[in-house]
Amino acid sequence: RAKASGRDRWAVFDEAMREEAVRILDLEADLRRAINGDGFVAFYQPIVRLDDRKVIGHEALLRWRHERRGLLLPGEFIGLGEDSGLIEEVDWILYARVMEEVARGGEGYVSVNVSPRHFRSGDFAERLLRLIDRAGADPHRVRIEITEVALLDDVPRALRMLRTLRNHGVLAQLDDFGTGFSALSYLHRFPIECLKIDQSFVAGLAGEAQPESVAVVRAIQALAGTLGIHTIGEGVESEAQRAVLRELGCVYGQGYLFGRPAERAPERIERIAVG
Ligand code: C2E
Ligand code: MG
Ligand code: MG
Ligand code: MG
């Protein structure tokens, strides 16, 4: 009996695996097709000053409007795109949209997420600057978000890219900070404008507060202070989290408490936020 039910379970498992494999193949084919269409859109989420909620910028977040599956989040297809290399193409489509949006006007900066893959192709900085220039966008209103992995893969190359971008006004912020193997000894060498404190630590700051989270955020604040840069708390969902972040010295934040990602021009959000 045990054997039979065991086999049944394997049959179910096989079927589920098969369906998953088919789903992934379908999605990859769709992804290839979507690159030639207009299914990718940028959503914008405000980044605010924690004390008065003034909007200082927005993060552009990728969404895929899939014909049959509806609106897909990056988590549902980005892994696929990274494996196949398609994510770079998708990113360039999105960056073009975002630069057009920036060129249209408004205040504050817009940050775009950069997959570590881009840092492996030597001309990322030049290509982004060309795109900004062609769109007629102000480079001072554009920022990139990168993770530590991208920096440590090839340190001299990463340095060169970040310096080139910074020389033209495009600043960099370090995303999901605290989750990687933070190579503290390297950090001071990179021209980084700010650290984005990963939302997993922000989540542990209040409610069922985790002492480790408070300790990590405190350490990140101390580090940022030493480097003379500021921090942005990610994933702020409650007033309590906002209060603790401020107490710990974090000046900026982003999260559902201030606004969800939305398909609206930053300028419009800015006007709504101010008046
Ligand atoms: P990320 O850069 O760390 O972006 C923040 C993520 O947290 C976003 O998820 C955002 O919707 C979500 N978030 C914001 N506030 C809150 C909150 O208060 N609570 C919670 N629970 N979540 C919040 P999203 O849009 O699903 O993006 C996931 C990740 O996908 C991003 O993480 C980023 O690494 C990647 N990504 C997004 N857009 C792009 C893109 O255009 N290109 C590339 N290469 N990666 C992207
Ligand atoms: Mg980001
Ligand atoms: Mg992040
Ligand atoms: Mg994150």
Q: How far apart are CA 211 and CA 58, in angstroms?
A: 30
The model scores a pTM over 0.80: yes
Length, in residues, of the chain: 275
The answer, yes or no, to whether residue 273 has pLDDT greater than 60, is no
* pLDDT class of 216 with cuts at 50, 70, 90: very high
Token pair listed for 104? 């249209």
- Assign 106 to helix, strand or coil: coil
Q: How many CB atoms lie within 10 A of CB 153?
A: 13
**Contact 81 CB / ligand 1 (< 6 Å):** no
| Helical spans, DSSP H, in 58-119 | 78-84, 86-103
37 Cα–ligand 1 center, Å = 23
> Residue 117: pLDDT band by 50, 70, 90 thresholds?
confident
The pLDDT score that the predictor gives to residue 79 is 83
Q: Give the ipTM.
A: 0.98
All residues with CB under 5 Å from ion ligand 4: 176
Average pLDDT over residues 113-125: 89
Look up residue 28 and give its two tokens: 């990859």
The burial class, CB within 10 Å (0-12 / 13-18 / 19+), for 197 is: buried
Report the C-alpha gap between 256 and 40 in whole angstroms.
22
What is the overall mean pLDDT for the chain?
89
How far does the centroid of ligand 3 lie from the alpha carbon of residue 199, in Å? 7
